[in-house]
Amino acid sequence: MSRFAAPIAEQIWNMKYRFIDPDGASADATVEDSWRRVARALAAVEADPDAWEERFYSALEDFKFLPAGRIAAGAGTGRRVTLFNCFVMGTIPDDMGGIFDNLREAALTMQQGGGIGYDFSTIRPRGADVKGVGADASGPLSFMDVWDAMCRTIMSAGSRRGAMMATMRCDHPDIEDFIAAKADPARLRMFNLSVLVTDDFMRAVEEGASWDLSFGDKVYRTVEARDLWNRIMQATYDFAEPGVIFIDRINQANNLNYCEEIAATNPCGEQPLPPYGACLLGSINLARLVIDPFGPRARVDAAALKDLVRVAVRMMDNVVDVSQFPLPQQAEEARAKRRIGLGVTGLADALLMLGLRYGSDEAARQTEIWMHKIAVAAYLASVGLAREKGAFPLFDAEKFLASGNMREMDESVRDAIARHGIRNALLTSVAPTGTISLYAGNVSSGIEPVFAYSYTRKVLQKDGSRTEEEVVDYAVALWRERFGDAPLPDHFVNAQTLTPSEHVKMQAAAQKWVDSSISKTINCPEDIGFEAFKDVYIQAWQEGCKGCTTYRPNDVTGSVLSVSETADVAPGEGAAQGEGGEVVYMAEPLDRPAELEGATYKLKWPDSNHAIYITVNDIVLAGRRRPFEVFINSKNMEHFAWTVALTRMISAVFRRGGDVSFVVEELKAVFDPRGGAWMQGKYVPSILAAIGGILEQHMVRTGFLAGEGMGLKADPTAEVVNLGAPRGPACPNCGQYDMRMIEGCMTCASCGHSKCS
C-alpha cells in the first residue's frame, strides 16, 4: 500500500521532492527511495554509515521527521545545490562598489535555492551628501528596487523564485519611506519587509516621547514615537507589511550574543542570523506521534519524541558537512557555529487528537510542555555529539552559559554543556512547513491552527480536463476513519474562528523554548478596529515574542479562502471553497479583422545608437479594447533576432484572449546583469523590462488594465462563472484560487507553491 495519506501528498512528492535523473528517468521510484536517498547521503559522513543510514531512514519513515524541502529534494542527488534554507547576507557597505558586490552575492545565493535577508539600514539616507562625487545619495529604497529586479529573474533550484527579507531600523531617516513602500502594489514585490524595533523605541511609544531619526552621528529629524508607530501599524493594517521584529530581544536571547550581532532575518522570520549566517531546517511531525488519538489516554509518545529528536539533531548536524554553499563566507559561518533549526509541524492536529482547543490556556500549556521537551532533548543530543565529534569552533563555555536562552535552560542541560561542550550553537526554530505538511498527509502547518478542515481541489488531467478531489486535514481524516460521520467536537476550531489574542498566546507559548524564532501569521478579521489591531502587536511585545506578522484580508491584500458556514457543517468544521470564480479561457485564437486601432511608442535606451519602436494594435470586443498584436522594430541589427521572436510570441499570446497581463509582469521582471538604466525617475532593470513598461502604459491607457502594477479592469473575452463564494488570489504556478496566508507567506493549498518555502 502507498505510504501517502492523501492524493495531494503523492502529487507534492512527485513534483517537489522526487529525484529525477537528468535523462528524465526517475531515480526515486517510490517515496521509500526518497527516504533512502536522503538517509544514505546524510549518513555518509559517519564512522559507521550503514548503521546510521538505517536509523535515519527509520526517522524519515512515515513522515515522522520532515527535513525541509532543500534537504528532501537535494540530498544524495549529486546536484550542486545548497541544503540550507536560510541566509542573511553580508553587511552592505555604504559605497557603490560594495553595494553591487553584495548584489552579486545575493544573485549567486538565490541561484542555488537560498532565501536571503538583508539589513538596508547601513545605506545612507536619501538626500545625504556623497563626498567626492558632488551628488546627493539616492537612499536605501532605490537600491532595494535594484535587488527586487534582480530577484524577479533568478529562478532558484527546484523552479522556485528567490525570496528576500529587507529590514530597516526604526531610527533610520528613511524609515517612513520604507514603511510606506508597499502602498505601491508594483514595488518591491519580491521582498518581505520588517521594521527592526528597539526596546528604546517601544518605551518611547509607551511614554509618548520624541524619537530621533539619525544616520552615523547626524540627527536628520525628530518625530513623535507614537506617530511613527502608528505609521507602521497603519501600513500593516492596510497592506499586511511591514512586519515587526523586536531586534533587541532577539540579540539579548541569542546564545551567541558574545560573538555576533543580528540585524536581519531570513524571508519568513524564523531565523534571525548574523552577516553571512546560514541555517537549515527540519520539523518533528507531532501528529504522527500521538498515542490513542481522540481516546481517553491520548498523548504524545514521550519516549518516541525524545528518540526522534536525538536522531533528527544528528541528521541536521551532518547536513552542515555535506551541503554545498553558494559563498565561502556562508560555509565558514555555518561550520564555525553549526546552527540548526529543528521545529515542529502538526501541532494543531496533535492538540485536536488530545481534545484540546487551539488557543485555549490548556493548549498553550501543552504547547510549552512539548517545546520544552524538544529543546531539552535537542540540547542533550548536541552535547552527545560534542563528546563524540567536538563542540562548535566558537564555543566558549563560560560565555555560552551566560548568554541568551541558556540562562533559562534546565540545570541538567547546563551541567552537561559545562562538562562536555555542545555541537550546535542554536538548535530550535519553527519554520514555514506549508509544502512539507501537505507532503506529510496535510497535517497542520508548523504551530499554526488548522486553516480549514476540508476543501475541494481541482486537478488538471493530461487530457486537459479537471477533476475534483477533497483535501482533508490529517486529524479530520483520522476522526472520520474512527468515528465515521459523527460530528466533529466543539474543540475543532480553525484559523478563521480564533481571536488574534489566541494566536499570539500560542506563539508566545512556543517561543519560550525556541532559541531562534517562529514563523507564524496572526490572522485578524477584516472588520477588526485599528486600535484593537495595534493591541495585537503590543500583546506580542508584552508576552515575549521576537516578532509579529499579521494578516487582515481586505481589498488590497486579497481575501483568504472562505470557510463554509452552512447549517449542515459540524461545529468547528468548514470547507474552504476554491471555486468561488473561474475564468474559462479561449481554446482557439481570435481572427484578425482587416483593420485595427493601435499606437506606436518610441523607446530610446541609454547607450544605444538606435531607438526601438513598439507598435501595439488592439481589437475591440463588446465595446472594449484589448491588445491583439505587437510589432517591435529597430535599425540595430543586433536586436533583429530577439525583436522578431518577441513580436511573434507576444502576438500569439495576445490572440488567445483571456488575462494576458502576465506578459507585462514577466517582461518587467527581466534583469540584465550588465546593468539597467534610470528612466523618468525609475530604475528599469533591462531593455526588455522597458518594453514591458510600454505595453503596460498602453493597456492602462486603453482601459484594459486598471492601473500600473494592477490587474484587469475588465475582460470581455472571459466567461466568469461566479458560484457565490469569495475567493483568494490565483496561484501563479497552478492557477487555482487556493492561495492562503500561512506563516507570513502566501501559499497554494493545491500545489504547495510558495514564494518562501
pLDDT of residue 50: 97
Pick 645 or 386 by higher pLDDT: 386
Q: What percent of the chain has pLDDT over 90?
A: 60
Q: Are 37 and 75 in contact (CB under 8 A)?
A: yes
pLDDT of residue 51: 97
- The label of the residue with cell 492596510 reads 238
Q: Are 144 and 170 in contact (CB under 8 A)?
A: no
Q: What angle do CA 427, 428, 431 make, to 5 degrees?
A: 130
Residue 255 pLDDT > 70? yes
Could you tell me the pLDDT band of residue 568, with boundaries at 50, 70 and 90? very low
pLDDT of residue 271: 94
Pick 608 or 387 by higher pLDDT: 387
| Separation of alpha carbons 446 and 519, rounded Å | 8
Over residues 16-50, the pLDDT tens digits come to 899 988 776 668 999 999 999 999 999 999 999 99
Residue 253 pLDDT > 90? yes
Could you tell me the pLDDT band of residue 79, with boundaries at 50, 70 and 90? confident
Over residues 625-658, the pLDDT tens digits come to 889 899 998 887 778 888 888 888 888 888 876 6
CA atoms within 13 A on the CB side of 403: 19
Torsional sign, CA 177, 179, 181, 183: negative
Q: How many CB atoms lie within 10 A of CB 390?
A: 12
Which grid cell is 460? Answer: 488538471
Partners of residue 221 on adjacent β-strands: 213
pLDDT of residue 561: 41
* CATH class of the structural domain 7-82+264-420: alpha beta
Which grid cell is 671? Answer: 534583469
Over residues 173-207, the pLDDT tens digits come to 999 999 999 988 778 888 999 999 999 999 999 99
Three-state SS string over 712-749 comes to ECCCCCCEEEECCCCCCCCCCCCCCCCEEEECCEEEEC
Residue 468 pLDDT > 90? no
Average pLDDT, the chain: 86
CA distances from 87 to 104, 113, 191, 258, 275 (A): 14, 10, 14, 20, 9
Partners of residue 282 on adjacent β-strands: 67, 342
Pick 95 or 732 by higher pLDDT: 95
Residue 731 pLDDT > 80? no
DSSP label at 17?
Answer: I
Does the pTM surpass 0.85? The reply is no
What type of residue is 478?
Answer: L
Residue 233 pLDDT > 90? yes
| Separation of CA 556 from chain center | 19
Q: Are 92 and 122 in contact (CB under 8 A)?
A: yes
What would the DSSP string read from start to end of 601-655? EEE--TT-SS-EEEEEEEEEETTEEEEEEEEEEES-GGGHHHHHHHHHHHHHHHT
Query: Is 179 in a helix, a strand, or coil?
Result: helix
| Separation of alpha carbons 642 and 708, rounded Å | 26
pLDDT of residue 254: 97
| Separation of alpha carbons 561 and 248, rounded Å | 36
Q: Are 237 and 227 in contact (CB under 8 A)?
A: no
- Tell me the catalytic residues: 266, 268, 270
pLDDT of residue 576: 31
At what angle are helices 199-207 and 225-239 packed, to 10 degrees? 100
| Separation of alpha carbons 554 and 160, rounded Å | 27
Could you tell me the pLDDT band of residue 726, with boundaries at 50, 70 and 90? very low
Which grid cell is 720? Answer: 466568469
pLDDT of residue 736: 62
Over residues 207-230, the pLDDT tens digits come to 999 999 999 999 999 999 999 999
Q: How many CB atoms lie within 10 A of CB 527?
A: 8
| Separation of alpha carbons 342 and 426, rounded Å | 9
pLDDT of residue 597: 86
Residue 112 pLDDT > 90? no
- Closest C-alpha to 616, from 696, 698, 701, 709: 698
Pick 554 or 118 by higher pLDDT: 118
Lowest mean pLDDT among 178-187, 426-435, 524-533, 740-749: 740-749
The full set of domain ranges for the chain reads 7-82+264-420, 90-109+125-168+177-252, 440-496+512-584+723-748, 597-720
Partners of residue 271 on adjacent β-strands: none
Could you tell me the pLDDT band of residue 718, with boundaries at 50, 70 and 90? very low
pLDDT mean over 235-259: 95
